[in-house]
Amino acid sequence: MLASRLPTWRSKFIIVLMFAAFGGLAARAFWVQVVNQNFYAGQGQKRYQRVIELDATRGRIVDRNGSMLAVSLATYEVWATPRLLDETCFLPLARLLKVPLVELRSRVAGDKTFVLLKRQVDADTASAIDKLQLAGITQIADSKRFYPEGESAAHVVGFTDIEDKGQEGVELAANLQLSGAAGQREVIRDRLGRVVSDTRPLVPAHNGATIRLTIDRRIQQLAYAQLKAAIAKHSAEAGSVVVLDARNGEILALANYPSFDPNDRTRLSGRQLRNRAVVDTFEPGSTIKPLVVALSMDKGMVGPQSLIDTTPGWYRIGPAVIHDTSNHGVMTVAEAVQKSSNIALAKLALNLPAETIWNKYQEYGLGRRPELTFPGAAAGKVRPHRRWRPIEQATMAYGYGLSASLLQLAQMYTAYAGDGTLHPVRLLLEDTVERQPGGQMNEQQDGDGLAPAADSGDSPLTAGFSHAVTTPATAHAIREMLEMATGPGGTGRAAAVDGYRVGGKTGTARKQIGVSYAKNRYRALFVGMAPMSDPRLIVAVMIDDPAGKAFYGGTVAGPVFGAVTGGALQLLGVPPDA
């Protein structure tokens, strides 16, 4: 027996130690649960307390009439806790998520606590997964950007990445306004990561602003369809169409081909992404001829009926020789525009000081960084006038030796559509940016119509001021010449529109490959306006590298101008004037 083997004092000592140990434990429990309860409760709470970021809903992008161009749709992220999964869940889950069964199993293999199975799962699929009541499967609210117009407006609207950040187009240019501001929610999670309670009031998210563009969805679709058809017809490499409101420079359509579907970006290439109307520059050819004609008239050197001798159809400048397509003989300035005489324009340019011409190019925005800071917008090139040789001064007058984008050419013609005022191009409709429900709208709006945001700066989609570049009388005279160019004897007859008087200038520019011009490779161009009684639209067309016998601006780009202009005028309800 233990009592017989241990002395009495040792037995008592052990009993005392046991009571002391129990007493210590009781005292510690009292200290933790009563005396210092708040401290230890707080420490325990911190272990499971988390701050969750509440995503703001990205703002919508709409056209001038409110039609949707970009919107965020509700989707879900599907997560798994591998140790809680049942073997029977894999097959139905793989079918619903459209993920191979082997791949799904590999994602949850190993010692993982929380695994993302798929993002941007649509609401119907998420609902079907919910009905399965699978243990270990959690769904978290997410969103996916959707672009209703698809490839027709892709280069204007752009797209976002998987994190909902703008990557191209308006999505990138107005990313700050569209993004809004995230909120916060402080919560307590259990050991499985589930939210069990809030610890303090949430900070609400401020949803992004709705951006209303100057684009007219109907005209955008029309321009893209006509461009795509023309490129297929002529087996061309690429092309662009720009449609402006002649009265204020607002961009009604900006189409490029090839394009891409922003809803499916799995097979994108740089060629598809290229916003050619804005970022590509090229020698504009004869489309630039009205500029030197207008300048010569403003300086009082010539009038529309002044005579220029272009005999015998070629003209020597130093060692170089320039040609017309035929011998036009003695012709008026108006006929020089109508028949697109290189010799006539060269003679006009050589009678002007180089600096005077260069300054006028600057006034038109040629060779200058565009005020519309759209992603990648190109400035074009005009060499400093001090470096011009006579042959360069002559050839620039008919569009060789300088470069511009199609958007810049379209803007140039705003001066001739009205009273000689050049209007800045604009992509954001003023005073129409709104906050979505759940967001905030400042009562003060800046001059560009954007709700002010900290460190946002000026809107990248609107910039610049209208300014005169020629006189009203000269602008009127240029319009008459442009109308002659699309009439009998003109180079742009194929641009005619039933029921409307139109005017414009053709351009057929040889493509420069390296340091020399390629043989039989061209850019076909047409820039014009309508109706001539009171111009409402400016339409610029560029078809790059058409194959086959047809390559002139009048025969390739002219019909695209006619189709787009005629359709757009009818869509806008502009009455016929012919």
Whether residues 126 and 231 share a domain: the answer is: no
Residue 133's domain comprises 74-142
Whether residues 515 and 421 share a domain: the answer is: yes
The maximal CA–CA distance of the chain, rounded, in angstroms, is 143
The reply to whether 286 belongs to the active site is yes
DSSP state, residue 203: B
Q: Is residue 1 part of a domain?
A: no
pLDDT on residue 143: 85
| Contact indicator for 529, 504 with CB cutoff of 8 Å | yes
Last residue of a domain, which of 89, 110, 142? 142
Tabulate helix, strand, coil % of the chain (nearest 5): 35, 25, 40
pLDDT on residue 449: 33
pLDDT on residue 513: 81
Backbone φ and ψ for 23, nearest 5 degrees, come out as: -65, -40
Whether residues 244 and 137 share a domain: the answer is: no
pLDDT on residue 2: 46
DSSP string, 25-86: HHHHHHIIIIITHHHHHHHHHHHHEEEEEEPPPPPPEE-TTS-EEEEEEEEEEEEE-GGG--
Whether residues 127 and 234 share a domain: the answer is: no
Q: Is residue 80 part of a domain?
A: yes
Q: Could you write out the three-class secondary structure of 131-154?
A: HHCCCCEEEEEEEEEECCCHHHHH
Given the residues 240, 286, 296, 403, the one annotated as active site: 286
Q: Is residue 16 part of a domain?
A: no
Whether residues 469 and 341 share a domain: the answer is: yes
Whether residues 224 and 134 share a domain: the answer is: no
pLDDT on residue 39: 55
Residue with tokens 């401290």: 39
Last residue of a domain, which of 112, 142, 172? 142
Last residue of a domain, which of 114, 142, 170? 142
Please, what sign has the CA dihedral across residues 244, 245, 248, 253?
negative
pLDDT on residue 442: 35
CATH code at 355?
Answer: 3.40.710.10
Whether residues 138 and 223 share a domain: the answer is: no
pLDDT on residue 515: 75
Q: Is residue 531 part of a domain?
A: yes
Whether residues 331 and 435 share a domain: the answer is: yes
Backbone φ and ψ for 451, nearest 5 degrees, come out as: -60, 130
Q: Could you write out the three-class secondary structure of 219-280?
A: HHHHHHHHHHHHHHHCCCCEEEEEEEECCCCEEEEEEEECCCCCCCCCCCCHHHHCCHHHHC
Q: pLDDT 10s per residue in the chain (578 long)? A: 444 555 676 666 677 677 777 777 776 666 656 655 565 555 455 555 667 677 788 999 999 999 999 999 988 888 888 888 888 888 888 899 998 988 888 888 876 778 888 888 888 998 998 888 888 888 888 888 999 999 999 999 999 998 889 999 999 999 999 998 888 777 666 555 555 566 666 788 889 999 999 999 999 999 999 999 999 999 999 999 999 999 999 999 999 999 999 998 777 778 899 999 999 999 999 999 999 999 999 999 999 999 999 999 999 999 999 999 999 999 999 999 999 999 999 999 999 999 999 999 999 999 987 777 788 889 999 999 999 999 999 999 999 999 999 999 999 999 999 999 999 999 998 755 555 555 443 333 333 333 333 333 446 666 578 999 999 999 999 999 999 999 999 999 999 999 999 999 999 999 888 778 888 899 999 999 999 999 999 999 999 999 988 999 999 999 999 999 999 999 999 999 98
Which whole-number Å values give the CA distances from 255 to 106, 150, 153, 560, in the listed order?
A: 44, 12, 7, 12
pLDDT on residue 152: 97
Q: Is residue 104 part of a domain?
A: yes
| Contact indicator for 260, 151 with CB cutoff of 8 Å | yes
Q: Is residue 492 part of a domain?
A: yes
Q: Is residue 403 part of a domain?
A: yes
Q: Is residue 19 part of a domain?
A: no
pLDDT on residue 35: 56
Whether residues 92 and 228 share a domain: the answer is: no
522 CB burial (10 A radius; 0-12, 13-18, 19+): buried
Burial profile 331-357: b = 16 or more Cβ within 10 angstroms, e = fewer = bbbbbbbbbbbbbbbbbbbeebebeeb
Query: Under 8 Å CB-to-CB from 426, ≥6 apart: which residues?
Result: 214, 248, 249, 250, 251, 372, 461, 462
Whether residues 119 and 234 share a domain: the answer is: no
For β-strands 115-121 and 68-80, DSSP reports them as antiparallel
Domain count within the chain = 2
CATH code at 95?
Answer: 3.90.1310.10
pLDDT on residue 465: 86
pLDDT on residue 137: 87
